[in-house]
Amino acid sequence: MANGPDGPHYPDAVPGPRHPHRAEANVPQRASAARPSPPGPRPRPQLRPDPDAAHVPLPHQATPQPAARPQPEPDRSPREPVNRRKGRKPRQGPKGKSKGRDKSKGEKPLTRARKVRRFAFRSTLLVLLVLLGYVGYTIEPYLTYAGSDSVAARVAEWGRDHRMSWAVTWLENATYKAPPVGGKLNSQQVQTLQGATVSPSQAAREELPANIPPLATGRVPGEGVWHPAVTGPSGVPVIEWAGLRPDAKHTSELAYVAWMNQKALSFQLHPGSQQPGGSFPTADVLGPNQRKGLVATWNGGFKVNPNDSLSGYYEDGRTVRALVPGKASEVFYKNGSVKIGDWGRDVSMTPDVTGVRQNLSLLVDAGQITAAVDSGSGAQWGVTVNNAFFVPRSGVGVTAKGDVIYVGGPDLSVDSLANLLKQAGAVDAMELDINADWTSYMYYAVPGGGDPADPVPTKLWDFKQAADRYYQPSSRDFVAVYER
pLDDT at 460 > cutoff 50: yes
Mean pLDDT is highest, among 40-49, 128-137, 253-262, for: 253-262
Backbone φ and ψ for 423, nearest 5 degrees, come out as -65, -30
- Sheet with 294-299: strands ordered across: 265-270, 478-483, 294-299, 441-445, 456-459
Please state which of the ranges 22-31, 62-71, 100-109, 200-209 shows the lowest mean pLDDT.
22-31
Residue 373 has what pLDDT? Answer: 73
Residue 25 or 289, more confident: 289
User: pLDDT, tens digit, for every residue of 319-372?
Assistant: 999 999 999 999 999 999 999 999 999 999 999 999 999 999 999 999 999 977
How far, in Å, CA of 297 to CA of 304, rounded?
A: 20
State the pLDDT at residue 13.
47
Measured from the Cβ of residue 26, the count of other Cβ atoms closer than 10 Å reads 10
Does 435 score more than 60 pLDDT?
Answer: yes
What is the pLDDT at residue 311?
94
Rounded to whole angstroms, the Cα distance separating 395 from 370 reads 14
Task: Let me know the angle formed at the C-alpha of 458 by 415 and 409, rounded to the nearest 5 degrees.
Answer: 15
Range among 114-118, 173-177, 295-299 with highest mean pLDDT value: 295-299
What residues are paired with 458 via a beta bridge? 443
Does the global pTM surpass 0.85?
no
Q: What is the pLDDT of residues 54-92, one digit of tens each?
A: 555 555 555 556 666 666 666 665 555 555 555 555 555
pLDDT tens, residue by residue, 373-416: 766 555 566 655 666 689 999 999 999 999 999 999 999 999 99
CA 233 – CA 292 distance, rounded (Å) = 14
pLDDT band at 209 (very low <50, low <70, confident <90, very high): very high
Q: What is the pLDDT of residue 32?
A: 47
pLDDT at 415: 92
Report the share of the chain in percent with pLDDT over 70. Answer: 75
Average pLDDT, integer, range 124-147: 91
Give 20's pLDDT tier (boundaries 50, 70, 90). Answer: very low
pLDDT, average across residues 48-58: 55
Give the pLDDT confidence score for residue 105 in this predicted structure. Answer: 53
Helix (H), strand (E), coil (C) string for the chain = CEEECCEEECCCCCCCCCCCCCCCCCCCCCHHHCCCCCCCCCCCCCCCCCCCCCCCCCCCCCCCCCCCCCCCCCCCCCCCCCCCCCCCCCCECHHHCECCCCHHHCCCCCCHHHHHHHHHHHHHHHHHHHHHHHHHHHHHHHHHCCCCCCHHHHHHHHHHHCCCHHHHHHHHHHCCCCCCCCCCCCHHHHHHCCCCCCCHHHHHHCCCCCCCCCCCCCCCCCCCCCEEEEECCCCCEEEEEEEECCCCCCCCCCEEEEEECCCCEEEEEECECCEECCCCCCCCCCCHHHCCCEEEEEECCCCCCCCCCCCCEEECCEEEECCCCCCEEEEEECCCCEEEEEECCCECCCCCEEEEEECCCEEEECCEECHHHHCCCHHHHCCCCCCCCCEEEEEEEEECCCCEEEEEEEEECHHHHHHHHHHCCEEEEEEEEECCCCCCEEEEECCCCCCCCCCEEEECCCCCCCCCHHHCCCCECEEEEEEC
Per-residue pLDDT, 269: 98
- CA 143, 149, 152, 154 dihedral sign is negative
**Mean pLDDT score, 131-144:** 90
Checking if the pLDDT of 287 tops 90, the result is yes
Residue 24 has a pLDDT of 46
Predicted local confidence at residue 31, as pLDDT: 46
Q: Is residue 452 over pLDDT 70?
A: yes
More confident: 31 or 74: 74
- According to the model, what pLDDT value does residue 23 have? 46
pLDDT band at 22 (very low <50, low <70, confident <90, very high): very low
pLDDT of res. 21: 47
pLDDT-derived band at 126, boundaries 50, 70, 90: very high
